[in-house]
Amino acid sequence: MFIEVLLGLVIAGLIFILVQRSKTQVLKTEDGWWGVGAPPDDGEDLTIRPYRVSTSDKELEDLYMRIDQTRPIPSLEDSQFNYGFNSQYLQKVVSYWRNDFDWRRQVDKLNQYPHFKTNIEGIDVHYVHVKPKNLPEGTSTIPLIMVHGWPGSFYEFYGMIPLLTEPSDADDLVFEVVCPSIPGYGFSEAPQKKGFDSVCAARIFHKLMKRLGFQQFYAHGGDWGWLVTTNMAQMEPKIVKGLHLNFAPPSKPGLPMVLSIMLGRRFPKLFGFTDIDVKRLYPCMEKLVVETMKESGYMHIQATKPDTVGRGLNDSPVGLAAYIMEKFSTWTNHDFRNLEDGGLTRNFSLDDLLTNVMIYWTSGCIISSMRFYKENFGFDQPHAKMPVHVPTGYACFPNELMHTPKLWVEQKYRKLKTFTLMARGGHFAAMEEPQLMAQDLQNFTKAVERKK
C-alpha cells in the first residue's frame, strides 16, 4: 500500500512539473525613469517628433583636426590583423576618410528614410519608420521591428529595408519597418542612471510600438538585438507574432546541451546533429576555446570598466574607427585575421563602414553603448532560464561567432518554425547579406502567417 501511495505521489509530482513547464512564462518588468532627476509630475510627453540627421562645418573641421593629429605607429612585421587593426592599412583607411569620404552625402543617404524621436521613460528614443510607398490595393502590411547590436547601428538594416517594404516578387509579404536605436546608441539618448539592461530596452521598444499604434508585430534581431527582441517575446508573447534571429548563443546551458557536446561527435544522429554541426563544433574543443579567447577581450573590458577605455575612444576618431571596424573584419570571417587589409572591403564598402563609425562619432555614444555590456553582465537574470513560446525563425550563418545547432535553439525557443543553414555570411549578416536575410525573414513570416 505504501509503495502504491509513493508511486502515486511521484506520478502526481511529475504531472505537476510537466503542467507547470507547459505554461507560458511571462517576463515581468516594471516601468523605469532614465532621464536626469525624478519623473515630471505632469506625466510623460507622448509626442512623436520628426528628426533629421545633420552635420556642420564646425563638426567636420573638428573631425579633420583630430585625424590630422593622430600619431601612427607601425605594425609588427607579418602581423596582418592578428594583433588587432593593422596600422599600415589603418593609415590607408584614415587617408580615405580624411580626403575622399563624403559625410554630407552619407547624411543625405541616412535621411532617405523618415527618422523620428519620442520620449519614453525619460529619454529620447530615435527610430527609422518606413512604410511601403506603393501598397497594392487590398494588401495589408506586416509590422516589423528590427533591432541592431554593438558595434552596429540602425544603419545595418538599410540594405534590407527596400527589400522588405518594396519587394519585387508579387508573392512576397510587404512589411512596415521600424528600426530603433537602442538607448545609448546612435541618436537615441543615453540613460542617465545605472541598471539599463536588455529588459529595459525591450520594455521601451514595446512602448514605442504601442505608441505607433501596432497591436501585434514581428521582431528581428542579431547581436544585442537577439537578446532585446527575445526579451520582448518573453514579456508580451501575445503581441510579438513572430521572432526572427540570426544570433542565439545558449544563455543558460542545460543537460541536453551538455550531453550533446560530450557525445555529439560520436553519436551525432542521437542529437540531430548534421555533418555541418559536427564540422563547426568539433575542429577540437581546444581550438574553439582559443578562438573564443581571441575574439572576446573587448567583452571583458566593456562588462567591467567601459568608461575608462571609452574616454579615449570618444576623443580619438582614428582610435574609434580602429576599435569598431576591426570587428567588421574578424567577426565576418576569422580567417581575415591573416590578411593585411583584414578583408574589410570584401564584404563591405569603406563608405558603409565609415558611416557606421560616424554615427558613433557624431553622437558621442561609444561610452554609453559599451555600458550596455556592464548592465547585462550577470548569471542570474530571470530571462536566461525562461523559454520563449513565440513562433521563432533562426537564420544560421556559417561565419557567425558561435555555431548554434538546431537542438540548442529549440531548448530556448520552443516554437521553432524555421531553421535555415545560410549559404554565406557572418555576424553582421543584415549588412553583409541583406538579400539572404530578407528572404529568410520572408519565408519565416509566410510560414507563421499560413499557420495562423
Given 113, 155, 206, 223, which residue is catalytic?
223
Asked whether residue 78 is domain-assigned, the answer is yes
Q: Is 427 a catalytic residue?
A: yes
Domain that holds residue 162: 49-451
- Please indicate, yes or no, if residue 86 is contained in any of the structural domains: yes
Considering the candidates 155, 360, 373, 413, report the single residue annotated as catalytic: 373
Q: What are phi and psi of 421, to 5 degrees?
A: -80, 105
Catalytic residue among 126, 148, 220, 427: 427
Integer Rg of the chain from CA? 23
Structure confidence at residue 2 (pLDDT) = 41
Neighbours of 64 (CB within 10 A): 14
218/236 Cα distance (integer angstroms): 12
pLDDT of residue 9: 41
Please indicate, yes or no, if residue 166 is contained in any of the structural domains.
yes
> What pLDDT was estimated at residue 288?
67
6 domain-assigned? no
What is the block-wise mean pLDDT of the chain (452 residues), using blocks of 10 residues? Answer: 42 40 78 92 90 98 97 94 96 98 98 98 98 84 98 98 94 96 98 97 98 98 98 98 95 74 78 82 69 86 96 98 97 95 97 98 98 90 92 97 91 96 97 98 96 60
H or E stretch including 374? helix 366-376
d(CA 428, CA 416) in angstroms, rounded, equals 22
Cα distance between residue 401 and residue 419, in whole Å = 17
CA-CA distance, 170 to 10, in Å (whole number)? 56
What is the number of domains present in the chain?
1
**Residue 183 CA: distances (Å) to CA of 125, 143, 149, 222, 368:** 6, 21, 11, 16, 8
- Distance of alpha carbon 244 from alpha carbon 82, whole angstroms: 33
Rounded-to-integer distance, Cα 149 and Cα 371, Å: 13
Span between the terminal Cα atoms of the chain, in Å: 50
Rounded alpha-carbon distances, angstroms, from residue 245 to 158, 229, 413:
17, 9, 11
Instruction: Give a yes or no: residue 31 inside a domain.
Output: no
pLDDT value at position 184? 98
Cβ(405)–Cβ(275) under 8 Å? no
pLDDT, position 203? 98
Nearest to 160 by CA among 202, 222, 204, 224: 222
| Degrees to nearest 5, angle at CA 152 with 80 and 393 | 110
b/e 330-354 (16+ beta carbons within 10 angstroms → b): bbbbeebbebebbbbeebbebbbbb
The pairing of strands 115-120 and 48-51 is antiparallel
Q: Is residue 29 part of a domain?
A: no
Residue 149 has phi, psi (to 5 degrees) of -140, -155
Nearest to 213 by CA among 143, 310, 283: 143
The DSSP secondary-structure symbol of 154 reads: G
CATH classification of the domain holding 429: 3.40.50.1820
CA 367, chain centre distance (Å): 18
Q: Tell me if 21 is assigned to some domain.
A: no
| Cα 86 from Cα 81, distance rounded (Å) | 5
* Residue 30 in domain: no
